[in-house]
Structure 1
Amino acid sequence: MKLLTASVTVSSVSEGGRPSYSFGLAANELPFAAFFWLLLLPTALAFAEGDIHTAGGWAVVALAVVTTIGLTVIARRALGERARIERAMTEGLGAGWRAAATGSTSTTTARARPARPC
């Protein structure tokens, strides 16, 4: 499990092409979930059960630590993306894109909303 999480994280952090995108999508979109469910909880459980007393056990803990660093890089990159996406949307769609997307009539002309099924 930790090896899979580590390889997905490496794929997300790398600047590769399409295989990197496809393979790292889950960790890239949900780095906190990958950290808690795939690293923190199993590692804590292994420590609680006393399974970390061999060289292999410590190697797995080291892999989890390195993977955690990679997930931190992913989360840090994501923090600045909202402003970048806002600028790109404004540049591509114009200043009133958000109002048009939400159906607000403050900066756009009124449009009929489709009826929602009950």
Structure 2
Amino acid sequence: MAPDYSAFETDIMRNEFERLAARQPIELLSMKRYELPAPSSGQKNDITAWQECVNNSMAQLEHQAVRIENLELIMSQHGCNAWKVYNENLVHMIEHAQKELQKLRKHIQDLNWQRKNMQLTAGSK
């Protein structure tokens, strides 16, 4: 019986596979929330409409400033340490892999010596 390869698929994955099979273009992320629209043509002379636009732009600017501040805070408090821990983990992984490689090479060398000795003793008989 053939294995069921679709058992692990989620609904999102199935939808994406269907989109690819239908050769439909990928849906781009909506950037509408980052737009700063001016008042509509009927409200060009309305001070309240312009004030709402200015308030919207100030709110978006403040939101972006908070995001930048949060990133700077994370990087200053945790960024360097996280990078050091990551590098330390990589060093340990490399050391472990090198030790395993040395063990395997020694095992192969021992096997080859055993085979050679077996062949030499078999040839002398």
TM-score by length of 2: 0.35
Structure (1 or 2) with the greater helix fraction: 2
Q: Under a length normalisation based on structure 1, what TM-score does the superposition of the two structures give?
A: 0.36
| Structure number, greater radius of gyration | 2
